[in-house]
Structure 1
Amino acid sequence: MNTTTTTEVLVVGAGPVGVSMANLLGHYGVKTLVVDRSPQVLDFPRAVGLDDEALRTFQAVGLAETMLRDMIQNVPMRMYTADKRCFAEILPSTREFGWFRRNLFSQPLGEQTLRKGLARYPHVTTRLGVALQFIEQDAEGVTAVLQAEDGSTSTVRAQYLVGADGARSTVREGLLKIPYEGQTHPNKWVVIECDQDPLDAPYTALHCEPRRPYVCLRLPYGLRRWEFMLFPGEDGEQMLAPDKVQDLLRNHVADPSRLNVIRARVYTHNSRVAKSFVAGRVCIAGDAAHITPPWIGQGLNAGLRDAFNLSWKLAWIVQGRMKPELLQSYHDERHAHTKAMIDLADLFGAVLSQRNRFVAWMRDTFFLSIRNVPKFRDYVLQMKFKPMPRFSTGVVLNSGKAAQDELVGRMFIQPNVERLTGECQKLDDVIGGRFALLSWRGDPLAQAPAALLDRLQALGCTRLVGVRARSGASEPGMSAAGPEVTVVQDLENELQLWFQKRRVDWVLLRPDRFVAAAGLAADAPGQLRRFCDLVLPASAFVARPLGNTPVPATAEAAVAA
């Protein structure tokens, strides 16, 4: 018998991107259903790297520290020439977003933690072993037909649907027919993981050896991974045979026959981006929207950026706090940056997997000659080559002043701050899952009309004033403390340096911590009124209460267990 259920958002795909999105939607108070055709977490060698932006996403739902328990933090990446000389090392010292930039994990373990996190939200439901068969949209929502393993079908009526169902997405490919533009690279790769790590090499190594380029890295709990390029004529499945695996490892460990290989799989590298990330009330995210070679470790991280960008927008639309047409901003903000990251990964791959020995020698000679040049060393070491997300259109407001608009659409820093009660926290934890007007040493809305304050409340915006630490009651901004404004002390002098360098008095931060607007104190009422006009629907004043569902202590313990 076909049964019908209703939900606000249906997420198709319970991989790390889909489940991260469900955690975020749960945190924002959105009724969510997550479905996946697989009844359990796939035990394949998959993503291994998480950056600071990914950890900030997990932090937003209270899972960063729990995820870190199964991670190795601050891991360097080294690049080696054909004759095994290190010509570059990447180890960023910056923690501007509150976390290290290079961290390694095992995806199956991470997925289990994220799935446990969903148990905190009674309004989030997970159904596994269920496949999407059909969707139909209309002006009010999306109707989806699901099929369970026993062949029974059910119908779900949702306001919005998110396809996070992988590179062979049923949502994108089978139902929406959205082009997946790009290329499939000719060389396949064998990925091998063993336990009881036989090497003392606590870093990620890219070996640019023309005879067979490979990657070698240490993972948590004594795991070691190798990734070897296959050549034309080498059959991928045959290369997974035990004797072939030992042949691949023979030049890298003393006795490959003694290794306990726990996972081995053949992968094809792809560089593809869907033509559109939004189709009416259906969005796609993660590998369903884009797929990249693993050279710079940004495949999963890009999907997590999707989840953070999209989830709060869906929540604000469902709750009547944002105009539905602004859902298109998800595509506008994410598509170009995704393409830039894939282009960078392609460039890395072309340089590092070079098989022509003469070209490889020229590459090695060039990089060895400049590795001690301070500007180049800093550029590589601090990962300054990584394109940072920045958007000038979407859910942002440009003032027309170039210096201020240069700040808009960029992720804001995350320093440690201290409340007046003496509690030290990361800035995001003080703000919570909402908009925030953060000003420096004064409240630009102290004399604002009540109508503007009401509109900001409808937006779900909190107000914070940053002050210098240990300054006493005479410090400008201290008088702003009250039920409407939270005063935070700048423990590490990062807020002062940020505002001083950029010559603005305030920033409006979105729930995903991107700067939505910035300006001087005198301009704040006018700019914030314009932003509310841009975002708020006419009925925003009757919006339901903002989410941020409290997490029961017992559920926190369950996630950590």
Structure 2
Amino acid sequence: MKIPTDIPVLIVGAGPVGVSIANLLGHYGTACLVVERNLQVLNYPRAVGLDDEALRTFQAAGLAEAMLRDMIQNVPMRMYTAGKRCFAEILPSTREFGWFRRNLFSQPLGELTLRQGLERFPHVNLCPGVELVHLVQDDEGVTATLRDAEGAEHRVRAGYLVACDGGRSMVREGILKLPFEGRTHPAKWVVIECDHDPLDAPYTALHCEPQRPYVCLRLPYGLRRWEFMLFPGEDGEQMLQPEKVRELLGRHVAEPDKLNVIRARVYTHNSRVAGAFVVGRVCLAGDAAHITPPWIGQGLNAGLRDAFNLAWKLAWILQGRMKPELLASYHEERHAHAKAMIDLADLFGSVLSQRNRFVAWMRDRFFLSIKNIPRVRDYVLQMKFKPMPRFTKGVVLNSGDARSDELVGRMFIQPNVEREAGRTQRLDDMVGARFALLSWCGDALAGAPACLREQLERLGCDHYVGVRSRSIRSEACSHVPVQPSGTVIEDVENTLHFWFQAKGVDWVLIRPDRFIAATGKAGDSVPQLSTFCETVLPPTGSVFAGSASASEQSRLPAHA
């Protein structure tokens, strides 16, 4: 195993977040090294839920279809009262970002797929059995000491380091000594997975029973998972003994002795967030940055939001497309939302795992009553309670127009579009891994000076997209001029038509992570785009110290 001595990005930890960052960096043409102290993927029962934002992240890395092979899509979630009555079934119908909102997978299988994805990139190296033992940073990079499985030490120089080394992060605790604020919940949970699923229950069920709250869900390939709350005085290791496992399962299956338990483990729920996600040239991502209880299935999804937000920023900085100081925007854009998701998970947990019988009875009466209130019911069933990321500062431009600024910093929709007759694609696949400028029924760059086009190309926005409606062919929309290096696409589902109509804007600049960087009316495009470029771009010709060498750098991937 050859460990490179000089690399643009060093990633510590090859869990799903670290490897997702590596896949994205590989796709953006930026070299990186991933080290992982374990030799193999851990075969523990861990994350099971992936949302639409996570799948959009895998799509950007070219791995969505590969991940879907081992996934069950659009899985309902039911919540049951203490009396076993279903008081809510969550089955979101919206696919505004191109994917279903609730999808189940087995993390060990998913990690293998993500690791296989790295094999596409000769400039990405994965080194299992290697751990970080020391780290120092200076103004121009970081110097890491690594130890391999044979005990040999290696000195690696990197432009940046990303710590994805878990909830007990050595980088966060031992090196940066950052606070990890929050709490550890007193109740432990035993998680059990069996094969040859004995139940005809193709959904996730949250059983809010005071005698012992539990979760039961179906996983791919005939797996079934149970999660049981442990009570004070119950020893976690003792509860993993075969007789105790049979006792727990015996209340829910007819013949527990016939079940083949393939994984069982005790977990403690934590609600914690690091004081900072960026310290100099070191960034924290995933569980190293925040830990979320599993109640709303957002632990891994929050880490994948980190991956998508951080990877393109590192690549753009290293390729001289963005000012190095804007790395701080990773903390600005992710910290508050990560905390909001933790708070929501805590609220769900306190309500659904209630052990006081009277309080549980009152809770059940409340939830059963709101089933008859359409607006409240829709709020729950469509998962509108999930706070969506919104950036008011960071790599975004607020113009001062309230209507436009309300859109900036939000994830853009992903409908199906056509560039060629009969060839339908998701929008992200058409625009590619880059900034994209979408103009509705016109040309956002009409009359733009050559210097602005040059700035946009430096930004990685050398692809402009004119959008026209398929069925609503007004005179204004019947023809969209093809712009330099641009494309005209058809809005086959009229989704973009209704979006632009409702929002009252004519163009949007979309970041590589699919968030709106800037937007506005046609007459404002040139000054606003110029201001954004001047805010983001470093001086002409600069490539930040610690970036990839000329031979390692490559242009951004072309659009599909």
- With normalisation by structure 1, the TM-score equals 0.96
Q: Is 1:198 paired with 2:198? A: yes
Does the Cα contact within 8 Å between 1:188 and 1:268 map onto a contact in 2?
Answer: yes
Does the Cα contact within 8 Å between 2:433 and 2:559 map onto a contact in 1?
Answer: no
Does the Cα contact within 8 Å between 1:3 and 1:155 map onto a contact in 2?
Answer: no
Distance 1:230 1:542, change over 3 A: closer
Q: CA deviation at 1:550?
A: 7.5
Q: Is 1:450 paired with 2:450? A: yes
Q: Is 1:162 paired with 2:162? A: yes
Give the match for residue 306 of structure 1.
306
Residue correspondence of structure 1 range 9-48 to structure 2 within 5 A: 9-48=9-48
Q: C-alpha separation between the residues in 1 aligned to 2:531 and 2:300?
A: 35
Q: CA deviation at 1:66?
A: 1.0
Q: C-alpha separation between the residues in 1 aligned to 2:378 and 2:3?
A: 59
Q: CA deviation at 1:420?
A: 3.6
Distance 1:185 1:419, change over 3 A: same
Q: C-alpha separation between the residues in 1 aligned to 2:306 and 2:433?
A: 16
AA aligned opposite 1:39: L
Q: C-alpha separation between the residues in 1 aligned to 2:530 and 2:32?
A: 32
Q: Is 1:297 paired with 2:304? A: no
Give the match for residue 378 of structure 1.
378
Does the Cα contact within 8 Å between 2:71 and 2:104 map onto a contact in 1?
Answer: yes
Q: CA deviation at 1:89?
A: 1.1
Give the match for residue 60 of structure 1.
60
Q: Is 1:410 paired with 2:410? A: yes
Residue correspondence of structure 1 range 499-538 to structure 2 within 5 A: 499-538=500-539
Q: CA deviation at 1:4?
A: 6.5
Q: C-alpha separation between the residues in 1 aligned to 2:474 and 2:401?
A: 34
Secondary structure of the 2:271 match is strand
Q: C-alpha separation between the residues in 1 aligned to 2:559 and 2:238?
A: 49
Deviations for 1:303-360, whole angstroms, at most 9, x for unmatched residues?
0000000000000000000000000000000000000000000000000000000000
Deviations for 1:58-88, whole angstroms, at most 9, x for unmatched residues?
0001110111111000000000000100011
Q: Is 1:396 paired with 2:396? A: yes
Secondary structure of the 1:84 match is coil
Q: CA deviation at 1:527?
A: 0.2
Give the match for residue 120 of structure 1.
120
Does the Cα contact within 8 Å between 1:277 and 1:283 map onto a contact in 2?
Answer: yes
Q: CA deviation at 1:478?
A: 3.4
Q: C-alpha separation between the residues in 1 aligned to 2:224 and 2:395?
A: 43
Deviations for 1:32-55, whole angstroms, at most 9, x for unmatched residues?
100000011000000000000000
Q: Quick one: percent identity of the two aligned structures?
A: 71
Give the match for residue 423 of structure 2.
423
Q: C-alpha separation between the residues in 2 aligned to 1:25 and 1:3?
A: 18
Deviations for 1:151-203, whole angstroms, at most 9, x for unmatched residues?
10001100000000110111111111111100000000000000000000000
Residue correspondence of structure 1 range 235-384 to structure 2 within 5 A: 235-384=235-384
Give the match for residue 148 of structure 2.
148
- With normalisation by structure 2, the TM-score equals 0.96
Q: C-alpha separation between the residues in 1 aligned to 2:160 and 2:478?
A: 42
Does the Cα contact within 8 Å between 2:30 and 2:315 map onto a contact in 1?
Answer: yes
Q: C-alpha separation between the residues in 1 aligned to 2:367 and 2:156?
A: 56
Q: CA deviation at 1:541?
A: 7.5
Aligned length: 551
Give the match for residue 477 of structure 2.
476
Distance 1:4 1:381, change over 3 A: closer
Q: CA deviation at 1:476?
A: 3.4
Give the match for residue 106 of structure 1.
106
Q: C-alpha separation between the residues in 2 aligned to 1:549 and 1:516?
A: 20
Q: CA deviation at 1:129?
A: 0.1
Of the structure 1 ranges 488-497 and 362-371, higher mean CA displacement relative to structure 2 is found in 362-371
Give the match for residue 493 of structure 2.
492
Deviations for 1:262-281, whole angstroms, at most 9, x for unmatched residues?
00000000000000000000
AA aligned opposite 1:345: A
Q: C-alpha separation between the residues in 1 aligned to 2:492 and 2:411?
A: 20
Secondary structure of the 1:156 match is strand
Q: CA deviation at 1:372?
A: 1.8
Deviations for 1:202-240, whole angstroms, at most 9, x for unmatched residues?
000000000000000000000000000000000000000
Distance 1:122 1:421, change over 3 A: farther
Q: What are structure 1's unaligned runs of at least 5 residues?
A: 553-561
Of the structure 1 ranges 369-378 and 156-165, higher mean CA displacement relative to structure 2 is found in 369-378
AA aligned opposite 2:440: W
Does the Cα contact within 8 Å between 1:165 and 1:287 map onto a contact in 2?
Answer: yes
Give the match for residue 387 of structure 1.
387
Does the Cα contact within 8 Å between 1:9 and 1:33 map onto a contact in 2?
Answer: yes
Q: C-alpha separation between the residues in 2 aligned to 1:510 and 1:549?
A: 15
Q: CA deviation at 1:483?
A: 4.4
Q: C-alpha separation between the residues in 2 aligned to 1:540 and 1:455?
A: 12
Q: CA deviation at 1:480?
A: 1.8
AA aligned opposite 2:493: E
AA aligned opposite 1:513: R
Distance 1:496 1:364, change over 3 A: same
Secondary structure of the 1:480 match is coil
Q: C-alpha separation between the residues in 1 aligned to 2:423 and 2:543?
A: 34
Q: C-alpha separation between the residues in 2 aligned to 1:256 and 1:322?
A: 58
Does the Cα contact within 8 Å between 1:465 and 1:477 map onto a contact in 2?
Answer: no
AA aligned opposite 1:41: V
AA aligned opposite 1:291: I
Give the match for residue 547 of structure 2.
none
Q: CA deviation at 1:376?
A: 1.2
Q: C-alpha separation between the residues in 1 aligned to 2:371 and 2:395?
A: 41
Give the match for residue 184 of structure 1.
184
AA aligned opposite 1:21: I
Q: C-alpha separation between the residues in 1 aligned to 2:110 and 2:328?
A: 30
AA aligned opposite 1:248: L
Q: C-alpha separation between the residues in 2 aligned to 1:383 and 1:55?
A: 17
Does the Cα contact within 8 Å between 1:34 and 1:127 map onto a contact in 2?
Answer: yes
Does the Cα contact within 8 Å between 1:442 and 1:477 map onto a contact in 2?
Answer: no
Q: What are structure 2's unaligned runs of at least 5 residues?
A: 545-549
Q: CA deviation at 1:548?
A: 3.7
AA aligned opposite 2:426: K
Q: CA deviation at 1:472?
A: 7.9
Of the structure 1 ranges 46-55 and 363-372, higher mean CA displacement relative to structure 2 is found in 363-372
Secondary structure of the 2:379 match is helix
Q: C-alpha separation between the residues in 2 aligned to 1:471 and 1:367?
A: 43
Give the match for residue 71 of structure 1.
71
Does the Cα contact within 8 Å between 1:467 and 1:475 map onto a contact in 2?
Answer: no
Give the match for residue 220 of structure 1.
220
Q: C-alpha separation between the residues in 2 aligned to 1:539 and 1:108?
A: 45
Q: C-alpha separation between the residues in 2 aligned to 1:453 and 1:104?
A: 43
Distance 1:373 1:136, change over 3 A: same
Secondary structure of the 2:410 match is coil
Q: C-alpha separation between the residues in 2 aligned to 1:503 and 1:130?
A: 53
